[in-house]
A and B are shown apart, each in its own frame.
Chain A
């Protein structure tokens, strides 16, 4: 993925939030599951096919005191991981 890509969540994937603000993303079709911290949860919630990863990185940097301004690299690698495992796709023509 690139920073200008707008990730689209796989519609079958369910976000299962837990009491400590971590969560599990679960794909019932494949039984694939991935655990994620509160920052990852926010990235998942922001991803709606219109927001670019660059915008999402800026949002999480504003909302989480432990995420530095230039953390787009971490956001990108998290999104890549989710895309590789079929949790994210990329919106067609959502560049910019």
Chain B
């Protein structure tokens, strides 16, 4: 255990976000990673199995407790089962983010057999027309719904993830009811980050404004959540979430304990490494993971700088030691600086919507 993390300034490497495929079998209008379209997973880079195995081996002494398989589309990986087996043998919990197209009953059972499994499936509307408007492929709605059922029948409590655009804002409750019928355990509502295709959607005026999102979040948190057996999570910066809801969840940004592993084998802050080369830290198998985790200049700056280096409204926000500036990767993409302010809260403040109780200074 010579690599065990003992230095108090270096947190454990808890989770690796594994972007298994460069391609995706959907063509979502909002995707923040903009992967290349790939109907069957044969056309673009996939993370080599031996690279993943080596990364898990190196990461265990650093504190690895879970891997998140995402993409692109993780189930397009031709040896997905081998990856699950490697994680399982290492006793590492397996999380999967999928569009559900390839989630057969066998795949659902495979994931259910992994340690502490968790799967989320993207469904963006309560009907095929709405979902497929956003996801770009006919038939994807039925397959996503079937995936949730398959996962539920395999004994999991899958999460439905709904990405909010103008087109589907009126379907929030309908998606919750549909998720209940499909056997989901929770629903998460995501905002579109203005990165890659998400930025194009924003320019096309297809995204809800800050005010609409704040209002929808309030309805979900203070009304809808009490009327469903499932847990609901509205992904909005913490300044906008009721304190009672924050206290009951243990959600806070994991940026201090995660690392991204791209399909090319590169280590990065997260999937943003596909868009921003400065946030790529080295190459798995070639560069020593312990050296990167302990010695990366960017990771060191983040550890030393959060939350006190956050700028603008994030610097004054009373939630910043918990929120950690919402998304440093997004800040970097937009501003060339990780320290923000985060676009959503900046816009909210400009529009007079930022809650006065959550900001430092006198009100």
Q: Chain A interface (Cβ within 8 Å of chain B)?
A: 14, 16-20, 22-24, 26, 28, 31, 33, 35-37
Contacts and interface: CB of A to CB of B under 8 A. Distances in A.
Interface of B: 222, 242-244, 246-247, 318, 355-358, 360-363
A28 B362 contact: yes
Contacts of B356: 16
Contacts of A26: 318, 360
B242 A16 contact: no
A18 B242 contact: yes
Contacts, number: 41
B362 A24 contact: no
A13 B299 CA distance: 36
Contact of B360 (A19, A31, A36): A31
B361 A20 contact: no
B247 A37 contact: yes
A30 to B, nearest CB: 10
A36 B246 CA distance: 11
B247 A35 contact: yes
A35 B321 CA distance: 13
Given A24-B357, A24-B358, A26-B318, A16 B244 contact: no
Contacts of A35: 243, 246-247
Given A20-B222, A23-B243, 19 more contacts: A14-B362, A16-B363, A17-B357, A18-B242, A18-B355, A19-B242, A20-B242, A24-B243, A26-B318, A28-B360, A28-B361, A28-B362, A31-B318, A31-B360, A33-B360, A36-B243, A37-B243, A37-B244, A37-B247
A33 B361 CA distance: 11
Contacts of A28: 360-362
B360 A16 contact: no
A17 to B, nearest CB: 8
Nearest to B362: A28
Given A26-B318, A35-B243, A35-B247, A18 B360 contact: no
Contacts of A37: 243-244, 247
Contacts of B360: 26, 28, 31, 33
A23 B356 CA distance: 12
Contacts of B363: 14, 16
Given A14-B362, A16-B363, A18-B357, A24 B244 contact: no
Nearest to A28: B362
A38 B47 CA distance: 50
Contact of A16 (B222, B246, B247, B357): B357
11 contacts: A16-B357, A16-B363, A18-B243, A20-B222, A20-B244, A22-B242, A22-B244, A31-B318, A31-B360, A35-B247, A37-B243
Nearest to B222: A20
